[in-house]
Amino acid sequence: MMSLFYAEVTDEQRVSSGGGVASEGELIDVVEMSVDEVTQYLNKPSVNSPTFTLYALQWFLMKKAPTFSE
C-alpha cells in the first residue's frame, strides 16, 4: 500500500530532515524541486520514477502550480 500526501510548509515549520520512522516501516525521501524543475523532469525522454510519483507530480502541476508562488 502506498499513500501520498500534499502539504504546504515553510522552513520555519520544519522539525527534521525527513526520512520517516524506520521502526514503523516508513521510508520517506524528501525531494525539493521548483515548478520549472518538475516540468523539466517530467519532459525528459525517460523518467526513472514510480508511477505514483509521476501521478502526484502531474496532479501538482494541474491543481496547485498555477497558483503556487515560488
Q: What is the pLDDT along the chain (70 residues), one digit of tens a residue?
A: 777 788 888 889 888 777 788 898 888 877 888 899 999 999 999 999 888 889 999 999 998 887 765 5
In a domain, 1, yes or no: no
Number of domains, the chain: 1
User: What gap in Å lies between CA 66 and CA 64, rounded to an integer?
Assistant: 6
In a domain, 63, yes or no: yes
In a domain, 20, yes or no: no
Which residue range is the domain that position 57 belongs to?
Answer: 32-70
For the beta carbon of residue 20, count every other beta carbon within 10 angstroms. Answer: 13
Decide: pTM greater than 0.85. no
Q: Are 63 and 4 in contact (CB under 8 A)?
A: no
User: What gap in Å lies between CA 35 and CA 66, rounded to an integer?
Assistant: 10
